[in-house]
Amino acid sequence: MTIYDYAKLSKGEKEVVVNNDALFLEDYVDNGKIIYVYYLNDFFIEVTKQHEKIIDCVPFIRGYKINKKNLHAIEKRNILLCVAA
């Protein structure tokens, strides 16, 4: 699945893909919302939840969405996953 295929899915289908296929990387709180970051097939997915309800699922490759200080740690994990596979 590419980032474009994921973006075309319905909200429910996106949730299923994240729960079944994506690798959880981190979570953090921003303005009362919990942000979960996942990795799937060379792209990232940012899931925003508020009051246990999913508000948004945003796929991205790299850029403003990813925290620069965590970028190195995420790339290191990706390299380790490639070696393990």
pLDDT recorded at residue 81: 56
Residue 11 makes CB contacts below 8 A (sequence gap 6+) with 54, 57
Query: By residue range, what is the domain housing residue 74?
Result: 3-84
Cross-strand bridge partners of residue 44: 39, 60
Total domains present in the chain:
1
pLDDT recorded at residue 85: 46
pLDDT recorded at residue 60: 87
pLDDT recorded at residue 39: 92
pLDDT recorded at residue 80: 58
pTM of this structure: 0.69
Number of neighbouring beta carbons within 10 Å of residue 6: 20
What gap in Å lies between CA 66 and CA 74, rounded to an integer?
10
Per-block mean pLDDT, blocks of 10 residues, the chain (85 long): 90 92 91 91 91 89 59 62 53
pLDDT recorded at residue 42: 85
From residue 8, how far is each of 49, 55, 59, 83 by CA, in Å?
A: 20, 17, 11, 31
pLDDT recorded at residue 67: 57
